[in-house]
Chains A and B, each alone.
Chain A
């Protein structure tokens, strides 16, 4: 499965069309530059009246965080998730300790190990107090190396409409910081939950790769972003594969 520039561009355009079909119709989505502009315009409208999630991060460990993000998304009402997608599932990551904040703020989800918590998605004003108290998460280091890790989304956290499946989650690490990874995976995972690609009982194998090249395919979801060192070019930052062999519980 070659992730060509055409394929990446089509995937990025598809994301815009799914999130804001109303706006996408009038936008040029044929080049990376046009896509970036379309993104900026939609972001602008989302800033004023869209929904925003806030994720408070105390510790980051890729597998635990992946699981907690899926749990958060599965626990969020589908219509709320859909409304959030219209704001490109916009999320602000803040450094903070959920244990210290529980008396003052109501979180919508708290990771089992207390390493992170989520509030929203909601209008931005709802999280203003939290954002005033905390600082933007600053994760400028690269991801530490780690072996493949299975992540099982617990069955008990929500309704299941199909048998559990197994997928691989590929994460690109070259040139990516911890903060970049949070952003890319967050979008990929919550939108995959909304699309029914991830559900209670599913198992993900998280694998870090320098770049997402030469993957066997097919993919179920792809996270595409600009490549800062090559303006005009796109790059895949994360990939959720199709169901892998051994699907089912």
Chain B
């Protein structure tokens, strides 16, 4: 058996398929009323702050989560929690917005590209001007109480939404107001009796997350004046959410491993099984750099989509990017970004979609049973690497006809 006999009728034109499951009803982020026998799974990846273009590293992480979400949705009630709102209060974002207003004044961001906004971000980091804490208060107030987003951030999120759509990724609410369910003090009230936080503000010290009983070092989560860092923001969001789930999957950069170990410990104490999935970043020419140094230049998601989209249909782009960023690169961070290999994957996707060069499609394939076998051991969530790399193995039968539109296109 060598692939399917007929082309998969998705290549070429037409409206985008309604591939992604609809957002869950009810309170944003709250688990849907479970169907009997269906486990409830929460996917909570690291959230990218809307200050710069998406890079290959971001694309890899986002595609990873997208495949996990859409595949797992066939087996379980899944919530994909991804709230930019939650992380706007971090210094990185708030400081950038305050800097923009301080240095540029009222500016029309609606026609800027995300690269241009990213250059402003590089300027902000290079300036190294400490943001006066008093200047941040009004921004925090507007974000927390009015759902306000700075026009520069709103512009980046708008551009990202278009890129998500182009890539066929489920939009978890990029431009929606999704406030975290708890204030910082409520988080501390919850963690204090469990011995999981150490609040030294009364003496002029910071607030720490305290998992020392598990041998993990104290980690500051808020300053003496109560300014939270991203970890505190994550706690504000996840602590009220997680008790409703059977499994919580935290996806993160390996560099954030120590923080996510802490998060895993703390959230586990609230009931659910919490798993961490580190997804390695994508080095550029052997180096992992950061946005503050403009690591996206020449490799932004927008530029990549532009280049590939000129020669290939969206369906091939969608499958090809997943074959590259998930199956080819894998969970590690050893391989540098290779635009030539990415293009090869898109070409391979084209062939698979036209019925050639893919794995065998078993007659009467059972997608649910197939996906259930792609889960990590003892887990409800599907392993994107196992699932996607299976597409590259020709000998194993895969129910491609159902699987591709459900998960990969």
Which of B216, B217, B218: most chain A CB closer than 10 A?
A: B218
**B205 x A101 contact (CB < 8 A):** no
Minimal beta-carbon separation of A61 from chain B (angstroms): 10
Q: What residues on A are CB-neighbors of B218 within 8 Å?
A: 95-96, 133-135
Measured between alpha carbons, how far is A24 from B103 in the docked complex, in Å? 59
Given A96-B218, A100-B212, A133-B218, answer yes or no on A138-B204 (Cβ-Cβ < 8 Å): yes
Q: Flag whether B403 is at the interface (Cβ < 8 A).
A: no
B215 within 8 A of A: yes
Q: Using Cβ atoms and an 8 Å threshold, which residues of chain A touch B86?
A: none
User: Are A132 and B217 neighbours in the complex by a CB distance under 8 Å?
Assistant: yes
| Interface flag for B4 (CB, 8 Å) | no
Taken together as a complex, chains A and B put the C-alpha atoms of A137 and B203 apart, in Å, by 9
CA distance A178 to B215 in the complex (A): 28
Query: Per-residue 0/1 for A92-109: is the Cβ within 8 Å of any B Cβ (1 yes, 0 no)?
Result: 000111011101100000
Report chain A residues within 8 Å CB of B129.
none
Q: Are B205 and A140 in contact (CB under 8 A)?
A: yes
Complex Cα distance, B208 from A179, in Å, reads 17
Contact-residue size bin, chain B (C-beta under 8 Å from the other chain): 10 to 19
| B288 contacts chain A at the CB level, 8 A cutoff | no
Q: How many residue pairs between the two chains, A and B, have CB atoms under 8 Å in the bound complex? A: 66
CB proximity of A134 to chain B, nearest CB, Å? 6
A94 nearest in chain B by CB position? B218
A177 interface contact, C-beta 8 A: yes
B219 to chain A, nearest CB (A): 9
Q: Does B213 contact A (CB under 8 A)?
A: yes
For chain B, residues 184 to 202, give those with C-beta under 8 angstroms from any C-beta of chain A.
195, 198, 200, 202
- What B residues does A97 contact at CB under 8 A? 195, 198, 210, 212
Q: Which among A58, A99, A133 is the interface contact of B217 at CB below 8 angstroms? A: A133
Please, how many angstroms separate the alpha-carbon atoms of A104 and B210 in the complex?
A: 14
CB under 8 Å from chain A, chain B span 208-231: 208, 210, 212-213, 215-218, 220, 224
B204 x A101 contact (CB < 8 A): no
Asked if A95 contacts B212 (CB within 8 A), the reply is no
Interface hub of A97, A139, A140, A179 (most chain B Cβ within 10 A): A97
Interface residues in A47-94 by Cβ distance below 8 A to B read 58, 60
Most buried by A among B195, B208, B212, B216: B212
Report yes or no: B213 in contact with A100, Cβ–Cβ below 8 A.
Answer: yes
Q: Within residues 314 to 361 of chain B, which ones have a CB less than 8 A from any CB in chain A?
A: none
Residues of chain B within 8 A (CB-CB) of A140 are 203-205, 224
Contacting residues, chain B, for A95 (C-beta < 8 A): 198, 200, 205, 208, 218
- Nearest chain A residue, comparing its CB with the CB of B200: A95
Give B215 Cβ to nearest chain A Cβ, in Å: 7
A141 close to chain B: CB less than 8 A: yes
B217 & A134 in contact (Cβ 8 Å cutoff): yes
What distance in Å separates the Cβ of A139 from its nearest Cβ neighbour in chain B? Answer: 4
* Contact of B200 with A101 in the complex, beta carbons under 8 Å: no
Residues in A with CB closer than 8 Å to B212 are 96-97, 100-101, 104, 133-134
CB of B198 within 8 A of CB of A58, answer: yes
- Does chain A have a CB within 8 A of B206? yes
Closest partner residue, chain A, to B201 (CB atom):
A141
A100 proximity list for chain B (CB < 8 A)? 195, 210, 212-213
A133 to B219, CA, bound (A): 9
Residue pair B215, A133 in contact (C-beta under 8 Å): yes
**With A96-B212, A133-B218 as given contacts, are A141 and B204 in contact (CB-CB < 8 Å)?**
yes
| Contact assessment for B205 and A137 in the assembled complex, using a CB-CB cutoff below 8 Å | yes
Report yes or no: B198 in contact with A96, Cβ–Cβ below 8 A: yes
B-facing mask of A19-62, CB < 8 A → 1, else 0?
A: 00000000000000000000000000000000000000010100
Contacts of B200 in A (CB 8 A): 95, 137-139
Do A138 and B198 touch (CB < 8 A)? no
CB-defined contacts of B220 to chain A, threshold 8 Å: 135
Q: Are A139 and B205 in contact (CB under 8 A)?
A: yes
| Chain A, residue nearest B213 (CB) | A100
Contacts of A99 in B (CB 8 A): 195, 213
CB nearest neighbor in A for B214: A100
Q: How far is the CA of A91 from the CA of B243 in the complex (A)?
A: 42
Q: Hey, which chain B residues are within 8 Å of A138, CB to CB?
A: 200, 203-206, 224
Q: Which residues from B are CB-within-8-Å of A58?
A: 198
The docked-state distance in angstroms from the alpha carbon of A171 to that of B134 is: 33
Bound: A132/B204 CA distance, A: 22
What's the nearest-Cβ distance from chain A to residue B214, in Å? 9
Closest CB of chain B to A186's CB: distance in Å? 15
The distance in angstroms between the C-alpha atoms of A99 and B213, with both chains bound, is: 8
Question: Are the C-beta atoms of B203 and A60 separated by less than 8 Å?
Answer: yes
In the complex, what's the smallest C-beta–C-beta distance from B330 to chain A, in angstroms?
33
With both beta carbons as reference points, the residue of chain B lying nearest to A137 in the complex is identified as B205
In whole Å, how far is A167's beta carbon from the nearest beta carbon of chain B? 26
Smallest Cβ distance from A1 to chain B, in angstroms? 31
Contacts of B216 in A (CB 8 A): 133
In the complex, A129 Cα to B317 Cα: how many Å? 51
Please provide the chain A residues from 129 to 179 with a CB less than 8 Å away from any CB of chain B in the complex: 132-135, 137-141, 177-179
| Complex Cα spacing A60 to B220, Å | 19
Closest-by-CB residue of A relative to B205 is: A138
In angstroms, Cα B200 to Cα A8, docked, is 33
Q: Which residues of the other chain, B, contact A137 by a CB distance below 8 angstroms?
A: 200, 203, 205
Chain B residues with a Cβ under 8 A of chain A? 195, 198, 200, 202-206, 208, 210, 212-213, 215-218, 220, 224
Q: A-B pairs with the 4 shortest C-beta distances?
A: A141-B204, A140-B204, A138-B205, A100-B213
Further contacts, 5 of them, CB under 8 A, given A95-B208, A101-B212, A103-B213 = A96-B198, A100-B212, A104-B212, A132-B217, A133-B216
The 15 sampled A-B contact pairs (Cβ below 8 Å) are A95-B198, A95-B200, A96-B210, A97-B198, A99-B195, A100-B212, A103-B213, A132-B217, A133-B215, A133-B217, A135-B218, A137-B203, A140-B224, A141-B202, A141-B203
